[in-house]
Amino acid sequence: MKAGLDMPNILLTRVDNRLIHGQVGVTWTKTLGANLIVVADDETSSNEMMQSLMQVTAKSSGAETRFFTLEKTIKIIDKAAPRQKIFIVVKTPHSARVLVEGGVPIKELNIGNMHFSDGKRALNKKVYVDDQDVEDFKILIENGVNVYIQDLPGDVKEQVSHLI
């Protein structure tokens, strides 16, 4: 990864099970001033139905959308133009970890919704984790990523390091 001015302009990366929905596609995108939402998710990258539903939401904020696999995101993120103000959305902490370990310069990781499922425990009312999620958070934090829970832009940030 090149340093300095050639770095991609990543405004924020968010973990959200739902990927692009009203909160992400409108509220977060407008607050950040993002003009490109990159959904880095292997499953969604090949599901045109999911993509078209997400694009409808994103269009209302005026942002463009791209749907890439994790590997493709790693390979092309450094080719982003300086005018692109990028908001990356992933489904899981593990996806964020893969991106960071692949060289994507993520400095902040916002944790939005991580739904309850068997084997998961609550970090707060909207974020449920299992042992793999906790391990991924620890590695991200060790790599210098500021990992925090923040549902909406005006909400107080809860540092994940204090919760795990």
Catalytically active residues are 21
Q: Decide if 149 contacts 124 (C-beta within 8 A).
A: yes
Q: Which of 139, 140, 116, 129 has its CA nearest to residue 163? A: 129
Q: Cα–Cα distances in Å, from 130 out to 71, 120, 154?
A: 24, 5, 27
Percentages of the chain per state (helix, strand, coil), in multiples of 5 = 40, 25, 40
Read off the amino acid at residue 95: S
Q: Which of 97, 107, 112 has its CA nearest to residue 145? A: 107
Q: Decide if 14 contacts 90 (C-beta within 8 A).
A: yes
d(CA 144, CA 140): 7
d(CA 56, CA 141): 34
